[in-house]
Amino acid sequence: MNDVVDKYIEIFSKLKTDRGKHRWSSLTCHGAPHKPLLLLSLMDGFAQGLLVEPFIVPSQALLETFNQYWSRIMPRGKTTSMAYPFPRLKSDGFWERVPHPGYDPVTDYNVSSMVQLRKIYAGARMDQELFTLFCLPETRERLRGVLINTYFAPEIRPLLVEQGHVNQAAYDYSQTLLKIAESQGLFETETDRHKKVRDQGFRKAIVTLYDHRCALCGIKLLTPEGHTIVDAAHIVPWSRSHDDRPVNGLCLCKLCHWSFDEGLMGVSKNYEVLVSKKAGFDSNMPGHIFTLTDRPIFKPDKERFWPEQASLAWHRKEKFS
Ligand SMILES: [Zn+2]
């Protein structure tokens, strides 16, 4: 077993990555961070029990984790795609790409977007040995350490370690929110880390329940790169309610979220969209807002997760006008 661990420590410390002082800063040791970040994301998937077999599908959950690591350490505005590292891990010798029927398994297709990746590849199969290591918490931790210490500068290593912990805790928190009715008081005193866990966990629970669809206008836009137009909004703000139960949440697009928080939109007793007359005074407000009046809102499938009437009534009384 130790031989296998040593073998992968060696492989993980010599990943074939794009290197160049002008392309990559000292923060990532002048190398492309894609492969190490994808491997960290995979290990998170195993830790959460989302990945349970050696065949890896480029799922939305994996994409979100990868994007979270990326945005945590890369400069704002520098975007990327998980499509770069996913097929290219093949060159490191522990990962076989599995194309859809009709595509040649040997050809090195040029893939630079998730659309292309999903069109050509069903997924990838990792070595049984590595799969075994990824299933064990102790070996995951060792391999995580190798990646973080090899490919990232000392000043950003703690961010990656923390993001791993936040990912795990946020996942656990979202599962708790989906299982229990009561979430108040989970965190007595809130640290920055608690806030990240709470935000990320609450968001995960809400966007899952609403399947990435805005409750008020019904828009659903999920880009192939895993970005979504919706936010998880508290009906009674967290600062006031400390209530992360999904029944105090709504999945809202950016425009509806802003309009809801400003009191320009609300939800009636019968779960219909309310649009404030005040919205009409602003000629910049998009006209489609008014066509939503009295339309039923989009709710989660299970009634126990529908927005709570008490929270909606608070919003109508305190915010909507
Ligand atoms: Zn909307």
Sequential pLDDT tens for the chain (321 residues) = 789 999 999 999 999 999 999 999 999 999 999 999 999 999 999 999 999 999 999 999 999 999 999 999 998 888 899 999 999 999 999 999 999 999 998 898 989 999 999 999 999 999 999 999 999 999 999 999 999 999 999 999 999 999 999 999 999 999 998 886 554 455 556 778 888 899 999 999 999 999 999 999 999 988 888 888 899 999 999 989 999 999 999 999 999 999 999 999 999 999 999 999 887 766 667 777 888 999 999 999 999 999 999 999 999 999 998
Beta bridge partners of residue 233, listed in sequence order? 250
Q: How much is the pLDDT for 189?
A: 62
Span from the CA of 140 to the centroid of ligand 1 (angstroms): 40
Q: Residue 260 Cα, ligand 1 centroid: separation in angstroms?
A: 10
Distance 220 CA to ligand 1 centre (A): 9
Smallest CA-to-CA distance from 265 within 248, 239, 288, 299 is with: 288
CA of 293 to the centre of ligand 1 (A): 12
Provide the H-helix boundaries in 95-215: 114-120, 128-135, 137-151, 157-179, 192-209
Amino acid (1-letter code) at residue 264: L
Q: What is the pTM of this model?
A: 0.83
The predicted pLDDT at position 230 comes to: 95
Which residue bears the tokens 């996942």? 171
pLDDT of residue 278: 80
Distance from the alpha carbon of residue 250 to the mean position of ligand 1, in angstroms? 10
Q: How far is the CA of 253 from the centre of ligand 1 (A)?
A: 4
Q: Which of 68, 64, 59, 304 is nearest to 178 (CA)?
A: 304
pLDDT for the residue 188: 56
CA 289/CA 274 separation, integer angstroms:
10
251 CA → ligand 1 middle, Å? 9
pLDDT score of 220: 93
Question: 125 in helix, strand or coil?
Answer: strand
Predicted pLDDT at 1: 72
Amino acid at 27: L
The CA 231 to ligand 1 mean position distance, Å, reads: 10
Specify the pLDDT at position 186.
54
Tell me how far apart the alpha carbons of residues 3 and 232 are, in angstroms, rounded to a whole number.
46
Please tell me the distance between residue 252's alpha carbon and the centre of ligand 1 in angstroms. 5
Q: Who's near 79: CB < 8 A, 6+ residues apart?
A: 225
Distance 302 CA to ligand 1 centre (A): 21
- The amino acid at residue 11 is I
- Residue 112: phi and psi, rounded to 5, are -130, 5
Name the pairing type of β-strands 249-253 and 230-234: antiparallel
Residues 6 or more apart whose Cβ sits within 8 Å of residue 74: 33, 80
Measure 266 CA to ligand 1 centroid, in angstroms: 12
Q: What confidence score (pLDDT) does residue 282 get?
A: 67
Signed CA dihedral, 32, 35, 41, 44: sign only? negative
Q: Which of 148, 129, 152 is nearest to 6 (CA)?
A: 129
CA 30 – CA 22 distance, rounded (Å): 8
CA 195–ligand 1 middle distance (angstroms)? 25
What is the whole-number distance in angstroms between the Cα of residue 112 and the centre of ligand 1? 30
Measured in Å, residue 215 CA sits from the centre of ligand 1 at 7
Distance of CA 217 from the midpoint of ligand 1 (Å) = 4
Residues 6+ apart with CB under 8 A from 260: 216, 233, 250, 252, 266, 315, 319
Name residue 225's amino acid. Answer: E
Residues with CB under 5 A from ligand 1 (ion): 214, 216-217, 253, 256
Coil, strand, or helix at residue 250? Answer: strand
CB 190 within 8 A of CB 249: no
Å from CA of 70 to ligand 1 middle: 27
What pLDDT is stored for residue 180 in this prediction? 67
User: 230 CA to middle of ligand 1, Å?
Assistant: 8
Query: Helix, strand or coil for residue 276?
Result: coil
